[in-house]
């Protein structure tokens, strides 16, 4: 039975991969409808022929890698269970230590190491792809360093979560999902508080914005929007990428406005101010807190479904998976596989909400700056720098895009500019 499960798992994964390859390379239509041709949203008006070709090529391969990587993770966890590796990890842990916490730490380091090795080829292909299309500027050593930081940050976080989670499951087999969710609330808020000052600096150097004249204008814009901001930070992303970005993260006293140095180098002052106004829109409309609330609601539903599915799967196929009970640490790969599946399935909903919030932030930014031309040029430059598709395929938009497409963003700005122009001449 275990062989059958593994065989069908591989066959389904291959069929899934072929289906998405056919969809992305042969079926999906990314051309613009006639009403957008010749407008400022038409990439042919701001990209040359080579840039258009490279954007299409890069986007297709990158999107295929995205759709292949998540189900590959499920297949990996399935084979960890079917081949008895989860069982072996537990035995090695029990032979190496007598304390439960140390045993779990050893089990988890083995599982994390195997996951790292299994997923490294796909990660390297993604890195190599971005290098070949001149998006990544990072050396192999720098990329490998970030991968190792990721490994240890994820391991440390997962060790805390797993230790507490299995303690809860052993205390309450029926309601562990509820107690785990209740504990996840302060943990999530604590991690968001730590992110800007502890985790992010592990990857990059952050420092106050060097251009004090620009900082004064950004802070004046923040004051106009009634935002209590004191400092704007820049980060040295040019060592790693040619892409552009800016964001606000953290909560409470640790919240930060951050600009990539690539953004500062590539955009003019008015375009930077538009990006900052967009980020301020998120603050004014409290999107961070709505995002936290949405995440916690989804995680409550997700943990409940995970608990129910684990009971059903272990009762029916526990022997084949070599997992005797939910509260056994050997069930961890199954738990991680189910959570990953649920996150993938729920991503269209979370992306839809995110796109709505991003559109609201765009609307707020243009009302605050009243500079349609700078806003449109910003999105055109973001498209060029990231080699992104202006009009991506529908499934790509649904599963990958937390922002409106560039077609939607630029065309809505053109519409806003036209309405404003007509109002002035009435």
Q: Residues with catalytic annotation?
A: 279, 362
The H or E element containing residue 235 is: strand 232-235
Determine the Cα–Cα distance for residues 309 and 287; give it in Å rounded to an integer. 32
SS3 state at 413: helix
Task: Compute φ and ψ for 111, nearest 5 degrees.
Answer: -65, -45
As a whole number of Å, the CA-based R_g of the chain is 24
Rounded to the nearest 10 degrees, how much is the dihedral formed by the CA atoms of 249, 255, 260, 265?
140
Place of tokens 């998540």: 70
Contact 283, 248 (CB under 8 A): yes
Give the H/E segment covering residue 149: helix 140-171
Inter-residue contact 398 to 348 (CB < 8 Å)? yes
Q: CA 43 to CA 61: how far, in whole Å?
A: 19
Cα 57 from Cα 419, distance rounded (Å): 36
- 208: part of which helix (H) or strand (E)? strand 206-208
Residue 358 among known ligand-binding residues: yes
* 182 phi/psi in degrees, rounded to 5: -60, -40
Can you read off the two tokens belonging to residue 129? 């792809």
Element (H, E) at 247: strand 246-249
Closest alpha carbon to 323 in 80, 129, 23, 135: 80
231 annotated ligand-binding residue: no
Supply φ then ψ for residue 208, to 5 degrees.
-55, 145
Helix (H, G, I), strand (E, B) or coil at 421: helix
- 278 annotated to a ligand binding site: yes
In the annotated binding site for Zn(2+), the residues are 278, 282, 358
């Amino acid at each position: 039975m275990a062989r059958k499960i593994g065989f069908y798992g591989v066959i389904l994964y291959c069929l899934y991969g072929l289906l998405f390859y056919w969809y992305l390379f042969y079926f999906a239509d990314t051309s613009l409808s006639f009403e957008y041709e010749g407008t400022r949203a038409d990439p042919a008006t701001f990209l040359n022929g080579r840039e258009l070709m490279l954007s299409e090529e890069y986007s297709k391969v990158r999107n295929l890698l995205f759709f292949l990587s998540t189900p590959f993770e499920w297949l990996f966890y399935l084979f960890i269970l079917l081949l008895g590796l989860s069982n072996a990890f537990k035995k090695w842990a029990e032979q190496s230590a007598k304390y439960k916490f140390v045993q779990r730490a050893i089990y988890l380091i083995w599982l994390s190491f195997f996951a790292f090795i299994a997923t490294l080829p796909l990660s390297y292909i993604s890195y190599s792809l971005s290098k070949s299309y001149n998006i990544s500027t990072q050396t192999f050593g720098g990329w490998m360093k970030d991968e190792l930081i990721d490994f240890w940050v994820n391991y440390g976080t997962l060790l805390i979560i797993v230790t507490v989670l299995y303690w809860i499951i052993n205390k309450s087999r029926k309601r562990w999902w509820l107690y785990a969710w209740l504990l996840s609330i302060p943990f999530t808020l604590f991690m968001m508080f730590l992110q800007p000052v502890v985790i992010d600096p592990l990857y990059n150097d952050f420092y106050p914005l060097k251009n004090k004249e620009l900082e004064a204008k950004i802070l004046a814009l923040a004051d106009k929007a009634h935002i209590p901001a004191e400092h704007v930070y820049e980060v040295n992303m040019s060592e790693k990428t040619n892409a552009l970005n800016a964001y606000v993260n953290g909560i409470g006293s640790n919240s930060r406005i951050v600009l990539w140095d690539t953004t500062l180098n590539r955009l003019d002052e008015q375009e930077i101010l538009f990006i900052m106004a967009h980020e301020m829109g998120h603050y004014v409309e409290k999107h961070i807190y709505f995002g936290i609330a949405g995440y916690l609601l989804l995680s409550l539903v997700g943990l409940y479904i995970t608990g129910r599915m684990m009971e059903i799967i272990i009762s029916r196929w526990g022997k084949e998976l070599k997992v005797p009970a939910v509260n056994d640490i050997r069930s961890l790969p199954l738990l991680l596989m189910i959570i990953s599946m649920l996150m993938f399935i729920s991503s269209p909903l979370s992306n839809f909400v995110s796109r709505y919030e991003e559109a609201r932030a765009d609307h707020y930014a243009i009302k605050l700056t009243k500079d349609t031309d700078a806003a449109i040029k910003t999105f055109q430059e973001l498209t060029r720098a990231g080699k992104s598709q202006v009009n991506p395929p529908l499934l790509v938009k649904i599963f990958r895009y937390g922002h409106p497409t560039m077609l939607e963003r630029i065309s809505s700005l053109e519409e806003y500019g036209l309405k404003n122009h007509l109002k002035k001449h009435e």
